[in-house]
Amino acid sequence: MPATIDSPTDLFSMPKQPPVIAIVVPCYNEQEVLPLSVPRLLGIITRMAEEGIASADSYIMLANDGSRDTTRDIIAGMHAADPVHVKGLSLSRNRGHQYALLAGLTSVAKRCDAAVSIDADLQDDPDAIIEMVKLFNAGAEIVYGVRSSRKTDTAFKRITAHAFYRFQRVMGLETVYDHADYRLMSRRAVGMLLSYGESNLFLRGIVPQIGLTTAVVTYERAARAAGESKYPLAKMLNFSIDGITSFSARPMRYIFLIGLILLLVDIAIGIWVLVSHFSGHAISGWSSLMLSIWFLGSLILIALGIIGEYVGKIFIEVKHRPRFFVSEELFD
């Protein structure tokens, strides 16, 4: 039983109607954007409450990721003005989007029926939250927000982002295409997510591993409302490499395969070297050097690949990931 889920009753409890929705927003230096996005999100909560699809006690959780501007004070002011609907927390320093999001989810995990995560800049259409909650009410436990187009992104961002998804696939990381961290998760799904103890966190890779009933909402992604992107190319590349290395041991297997291929190439090189040698085109010493360089090179790669396979197993074991989640039990 995952540590963060209290008891089987909690695990299997169904949300009360209408559900309390927590909207979790990671915020890093978002002083320009928060005064625009919080009222917009509050408006969505009001609409959902009026339509009876979510509780009027639904709220926003602003997770301040060690901002250097006035983000923290803005959050405190908003909380003071409306403590029921605006909550906040601050990390002790900047830890990155994924950790800010996780801190927010941890805080709301037991205080909501479902949590929606969305970026502070509202590039992801907040109206999609309403669709997500409807799907949640209809039984979906994880609802992915997926961009229908990237018209408003710069061409550079679009191309690099697509290369990023493709690269991840090849390297053995399963993610939902064009889905960032805009998603709804039921209280139970959040509990399961929190039971992943690994410190190198890549939520987009972990969430699809949880399973449960999932659904997708598509939306148009807008340009940033204010401020600038906190994800320049270098950060995106780091994020991608982190994602791959925390999910897949496939790069090591590629090394092993390259070693095997080189061993085959050796045969061709060997024939060429021997032909040159016996036809007298080779200076002395060249043939033996050529043969040993190629042969040893491929042997070293194969050996590294084999070690890599074991390191890969160790890597999977030390993560202590939950092995499975039972979503339903028919016992008595």
Q: Which residues bind ligand UDP (CB under 6 A)?
A: 26-28, 30, 65, 94, 96-97, 100, 119-121, 123, 229-231
Cα-based torsion angle of the residue sequence 131, 134, 136, 137 in order, rounded to the nearest 10 degrees: 180
Helix (H) or strand (E) holding 303: helix 286-318
Scan for tokens 């919080």, then name that residue: 38
Residue 230 contact, options ligand UDP, Mg ion, none, Cβ 5-8 Å cut-off depending on partner type: ligand UDP
Asked whether the beta carbons of 31 and 74 are under 8 A apart, the reply is: yes
Q: Which DSSP helix (H) or strand (E) runs through 255?
A: helix 250-278
**C-beta of 231 vs 315, nearer to ligand UDP:** 231
Tokens of 168: 């991840």
d(CA 312, CA 3): 26
- Among Mg ion, ligand UDP, none, the one that 65 touches (CB under a kind-dependent 5 to 8 A) is ligand UDP
Site map (CB under 5 A) of Mg ion, residues 71-90, x = contact: --------------------
Q: Name which of 55 and 123 has its Cβ closer to Mg ion.
A: 123
Contact between 20 and 109 (Cβ < 8 Å): no
280: left (phi over 0), alpha (psi -120 to 50) or beta: left
The entry of ligand UDP, Mg ion, none near residue 97 (CB within 5 to 8 angstroms by kind) is ligand UDP
How far is 110 from 83, CA to CA, in rounded Å? 18
Q: What is the nearest approach in angstroms of Mg ion to the Cβ of residue 119?
A: 5
Query: Least Å distance between CB 46 and ligand UDP?
Result: 22
Q: Is 253 exposed, middle or buried (0-12, 13-18, 19+ CB in 10 A)?
A: middle
Work out how close the CB of 189 gets to ligand UDP at its nearest, in angstroms, rounded to a whole number. Answer: 21
> Residue 117 Cβ, how far from ligand UDP at the closest point, in Å?
10
Residue 179 binding target from ligand UDP, Mg ion, none, CB below 5 to 8 Å by type: none
Pair 24, 116: CB distance under 8 Å: yes
Q: Which is nearer to ligand UDP, 242 or 309 (CB)?
A: 242
* Cβ 90 to ligand UDP shortest distance, Å: 11
Say if CB 44 and CB 132 are below 8 A apart. Answer: no
Provide the minimum distance between the beta carbon of 131 and ligand UDP in the complex, in angstroms, as a whole number: 21
Question: Binding marks (x or -) toward Mg ion, 96..125, rule CB under 5 A?
Answer: -----------------------x-x-x--
Measured from the CB atom, the residue of 65 and 119 that comes closer to Mg ion is 119
CB atoms under 10 Å from CB of 220, counted, come to 15
Name which of 85 and 221 has its Cβ closer to Mg ion.
Answer: 221
Contact between 60 and 42 under an 8 Å Cβ cutoff? The reply is yes
Nearest distance in Å: CB 72, Mg ion: 20
Which spans of this chain sit near Mg ion (rule: CB under 5 A)?
119, 121, 123
